[in-house]
Amino acid sequence: MAVTAPKKQATSSGNGRPASSATAEAAAPAIVQGPEIPPVPFDHEELVVRRGARSGLYSIVAVHSTALGPALGGMRLWCYPATIDGCRDALRLAMGMTYKAAAAGLDLGGGKGVICAPPSARVDGALRRAALLDFADVVESLDGRYITAEDVGVAPADLVTIRERTAHVTGLPPDRGGSGDPSPFTAIGVEAAMRACCARAFGDPSPAGRRVAVVGLGHVGSRLAQRLAAAGADLVVSDIVEDRRTIARDLDAEWVEPSDAMLTECDILAPCALGGAVDAGNAEALRCRIVCGSANNQLADESLAAALAGRGILYAPDFIANAGGLIHVYMEIKGYSEERALELALRIEQTLGRILDAADDRGTTPLDAARELARERLEAAAVAA
């Protein structure tokens, strides 16, 4: 683990984790102190923590595995109760990216980036640019072992700034030679995963007529809601950003308050904001048949997968369901073809179907079956090496 800290004093960091995937600039005024992130098992190749010489903010990059290829994972600009929570978030998300890429059949490893934002100020203007350049220097120092992309709190324009200091960035706007916003492909993949779950739970893959609660209407959640509305689902939506009530009106969807969203009675619950939405406090109270959303690390504790299964709730492993965005930026690296990316994102339905079959055959949870699929590919790569 490499930790470097220039003498410049850091701005203190802290934060809450609101149930929204809004950008950092939009969400910053509403941020409150949130819970700490619990310790994460450390079997990663590398963790870099560096206080930015320009901004004073901590940049963090976690590289979990490069067994299949360079570690790719987005960078999130967010506030945490302490810097250690930013490290833990990067570590657990990087691990998820390893499994996501492996299970999707991509020649990529897993990594993740974080900029720890201060609790008392919006990160915009000169401070934002300084923080992005500091982060870019960390990425460049890894010499291609980590490729960054867009995540929570980050916009395509921020990637352009990062590109000034490193070539190891993907998901750039089309006018800069990139593939653009990956969120439509993430939404396509989540809908495909829902079809696999509906086929298993209800005997019909169509979401038409199913009551679906989309919790979080950011880039992915709003697009997923649009797709589900077009498919005939009975929509319930929620977000901490009050202005997003207009999405509910536009889609003729029911709006529920964020505090009630996770316990909404529905057929499919779709957590589409930050991680840890399903926790020990609500797992026994969920009123749904399926949990399938776009958020990373939806389970605050992986043991909750068994608890959900015990209640007859089908959980779609998030790193399977939300792989469409990764597929999109991967195709940019390999020579972007939108048609091929769409084909692979839609294939998530078949991939998850096989995972659900394996879980039934082995008497295990879908999460365990998905991890086993990923591990088999990682072990084969290790043998080949």
Residue 120: which pLDDT band, with cuts at 50, 70 and 90? confident
What are the chain's domains? 2-96+109-176 (3.40.50.10860), 183-322+351-374 (3.40.50.720)
Residues 1-36 pLDDT 10s: 443 333 333 333 332 334 444 443 443 333 333 468
What per-residue confidence (pLDDT) applies to 274? Answer: 80
The residue type found at 384 is: A
- State the burial class of residue 275 (Cβ atoms within 10 Å of its Cβ: 0-12, 13-18, 19+): buried
C-alpha 279/C-alpha 298 separation (Å) is 9
What per-residue confidence (pLDDT) applies to 13? Answer: 31
Residue 355: which pLDDT band, with cuts at 50, 70 and 90? very high
User: Which residue has tokens 């439509």?
Assistant: 184
C-alpha 257/C-alpha 219 separation (Å) is 19
State the helix-helix crossing angle for 183-202 and 219-230, rounded to 10 degrees: 50
Q: In what order do the strands lie in the sheet with 109-116?
A: 2-4, 46-51, 58-65, 109-116, 71-78, 146-150
The region of weakest confidence among 16-25, 286-295, 369-378 is 16-25
What per-residue confidence (pLDDT) applies to 35? Answer: 60
Mean per-residue pLDDT, 86-94: 95
E-strand ranges in 152-262 read: 211-215, 234-238, 254-255
Residues 198-257 pLDDT 10s: 999 999 999 999 999 999 999 899 999 999 999 999 999 999 999 999 999 999 999 999
Out of 7, 100, 112, 334, the active site residue is 112
Mean per-residue pLDDT, 47-52: 98
Say yes or no to pLDDT of 173 above 60: yes
Beta-carbon contacts of residue 167 (< 8 Å; ≥ 6 apart): none
Question: Is there a catalytic annotation at residue 112?
Answer: yes
